[in-house]
């Protein structure tokens, strides 16, 4: 991770950690960088945060001042920006979003011309420019100045693309969608309606301040209750920019990214579409997933946390499905990034193909209890490397032995240390997570916000 760019772009509290000046500078550099061999074409999408409009205008000013033409997709999802960029030969794309973070945070995600997350070396060049460590960049003048183009049709083409993917209609299925008052509010319902579903939608009235607030994939309990109260067949919750998806079965039980990987991976294997007979996971995936994959003869690989690392592994090794427990699922045949709406379509298609409910499709997986506590800290590196914290981690490792595990890692997008324990019971998880969390707090690293 760099000084400004983490695992998922440049993210922080709007006008505190990430300011309009930063956005202008990012635009200035990208506009110049991609216009060196001719006028660049750059697409911009945004989520529904109040600050997204502010950052959009700042980026546009920087990009056009450096000579790039900017195509505005308006409120849309991260995967739609990726789709438009790679399918319509843009030089790069920018998504303004802080994903699942609260409304007062925001972020700048840059997508390269292949629809993938920007290369680290280019992010480093942007950071050097922001810090004044490189030569100044000339302003475009006269007819070289860039222009802005309304490109809402790009989002509409993405919607059409999603509709074309399922091979069967969703007729007679009652499907619930929690749009998190975010980007999917403008897209998801129309896709499911077109495929014949009886679509029930909640949290699709964004006001700039309610994105992810007690809704969406980070507050799945709301959708659980909604599915049960309305007798729905299945429900899907997205995050702010709709690049992740968590499902709820007909009994109101959570079906996270691990279970989605199992359901879709097994279906792909049955159809002969699971390249290399392998699913790519991260180190956060559950023991129960691996044991279930072993039983059905599916291999797996583990990467660092972050869908960018999952996709890198998929590209390098020719795998076709991978993802994270948090709901970032990548189907390389259809996308180059996690896509929440696409994921929900693939799950429903599997239900229809097999004439089975989501509960029936997941019943073979015995998930280990897992507890994750996020500790907001003053310094992620110091907190994680503190000798007393390390000693507490080692103590837990010895207690759990081969019947569980502990994982302590830095967040790539927030000033947070994540402490996760996986064991045979909730009680064991809770007791051992606190052994580490309490040491972090006792050493004075934790902060309240």
Rounded average pLDDT over 242-255 = 98
Domains and CATH numbers, the chain: 5-154 (3.40.120.10), 165-362 (3.40.120.10), 370-442 (3.30.310.50)
Residues 6+ apart with CB under 8 A from 262: 289, 292, 293, 362, 365
pLDDT in tens, 189-248: 999 999 999 999 999 999 999 999 999 999 999 999 999 999 999 999 999 999 999 999
Coil, helix or strand for 209? coil
pLDDT in tens, 404-448: 889 999 887 788 999 999 998 999 999 999 999 999 999 999 987
Catalytic residues: 99
pLDDT in tens, 377-392: 999 999 999 999 999 9
Question: If pLDDT is split at 50, 70 and 90, which confidence band does 1 have?
Answer: low
Question: If pLDDT is split at 50, 70 and 90, which confidence band does 449 have?
Answer: low
Residue 36: per-residue pLDDT: 92
Taking every pair of C-alpha atoms in the chain, what is the biggest distance, in angstroms? 69
Residues 6+ apart with CB under 8 A from 257: 244, 246, 323, 324, 325, 326, 327, 328, 329
Q: Which of 244, 284, 281, 3 is closest to 120 using CA atoms?
A: 3
pLDDT at 54 over 80: yes
Contact 314, 244 (CB under 8 A): no
pLDDT in tens, 320-364: 999 999 999 999 999 999 999 999 999 999 999 999 999 999 999
Residue 300: per-residue pLDDT: 98
pLDDT in tens, 20-35: 999 999 999 999 999 9
Identify the H or E element spanning 174.
strand 174-178
Rounded average pLDDT over 247-273 = 98
Residue 26: per-residue pLDDT: 98
Q: Scanning the structure block, which residue is given the tokens 């840059």?
A: 110
On whether 241 is known to bind a ligand per the annotation, the reply is yes
Contact 67, 140 (CB under 8 A): yes
Question: For 144, which DSSP code?
Answer: G
On whether 99 is known to bind a ligand per the annotation, the reply is yes
Q: By percentage, how much of the chain surpasses pLDDT 90?
A: 92
Rounded average pLDDT over 284-294 = 91
Rounded average pLDDT over 88-103 = 96
Phi, then psi, of 180 in degrees rounded to 5: 60, 20
Question: If pLDDT is split at 50, 70 and 90, which confidence band does 396 have?
Answer: very high
Contact 57, 27 (CB under 8 A): no
Residue 78: per-residue pLDDT: 97
pLDDT at 373 over 90: yes
- pTM for this prediction: 0.89
On whether 207 is known to bind a ligand per the annotation, the reply is no
Contact 362, 254 (CB under 8 A): no
Coil, helix or strand for 236? strand
Question: For 253, which DSSP code?
Answer: -
| Mean pLDDT taken over the chain | 95
């Amino acid at each position: 991770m760099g000084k400004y760019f983490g695992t998922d772009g440049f993210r922080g509290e709007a006008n505190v950690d990430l300011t309009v000046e930063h956005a202008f500078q990012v635009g200035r550099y990208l506009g110049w960088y991609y216009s060196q061999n001719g006028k660049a074409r750059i697409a911009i999408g945004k989520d529904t945060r109040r600050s997204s409009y502010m950052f959009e205008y700042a980026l546009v000013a920087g990009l056009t001042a450096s000579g790039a033409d900017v195509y505005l997709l308006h409120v849309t999802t991260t995967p739609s920006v990726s789709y438009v960029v790679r399918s319509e030969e843009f030089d790069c794309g920018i998504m303004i979003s802080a994903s699942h973070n609260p409304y007062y945070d925001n972020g700048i995600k840059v997508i390269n011309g292949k629809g993938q997350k920007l290369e680290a070396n280019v992010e480093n060049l942007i950071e050097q420019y922001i810090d004044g460590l490189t030569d100044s960049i000339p302003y475009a003048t006269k007819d070289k100045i860039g222009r802005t183009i309304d490109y809402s049709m790009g989002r509409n083409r993405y919607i059409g693309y999603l509709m074309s993917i399922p091979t069967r209609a969703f007729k007679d299925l009652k499907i619930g969608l929690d749009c998190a008052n975010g980007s999917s509010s403008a897209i998801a319902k129309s896709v499911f309606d077109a495929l014949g579903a009886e679509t029930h939608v909640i949290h699709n009235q964004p006001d700039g301040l309610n994105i992810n607030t007690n809704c969406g994939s980070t507050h799945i309990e709301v959708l659980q209750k909604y599915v049960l109260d309305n007798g729905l067949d299945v429900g899907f919750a997205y995050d702010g920019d709709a690049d992740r998806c968590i499902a709820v079965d007909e009994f109101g039980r959570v079906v996270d990214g691990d279970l989605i990987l199992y359901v879709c991976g097994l279906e792909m294997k049955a159809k002969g579409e699971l390249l290399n007979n392998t699913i790519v996971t991260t180190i956060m995936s559950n023991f129960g997933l691996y044991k279930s994959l072993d039983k059905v003869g599916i291999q797996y690989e583990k990467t660092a946390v972050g869908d960018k690392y999952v996709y890198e592994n998929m590209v390098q090794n020719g795998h076709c499905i991978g993802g994270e427990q948090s709901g970032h699922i990548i189907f390389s045949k259809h996308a180059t990034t996690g896509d929440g709406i696409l994921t929900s379509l693939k799950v429903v298609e599997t239900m229809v193909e097999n004439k089975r409910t989501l509960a029936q499709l997941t019943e073979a997986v015995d998930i280990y209890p897992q507890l994750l506590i996020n500790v907001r800290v003053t310094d992620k590196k110091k907190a994680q490397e503190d000798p007393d914290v390390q000693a507490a981690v080692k103590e837990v490792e010895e207690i759990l032995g081969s019947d569980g595990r502990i994982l302590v890692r830095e967040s790539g997008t927030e000033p947070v240390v994540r402490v996760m324990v996986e064991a045979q019971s909730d009680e064991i998880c809770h007791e051992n997570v606190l052994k580490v969390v309490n040491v972090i707090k006792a050493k004075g690293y934790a902060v309240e916000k």
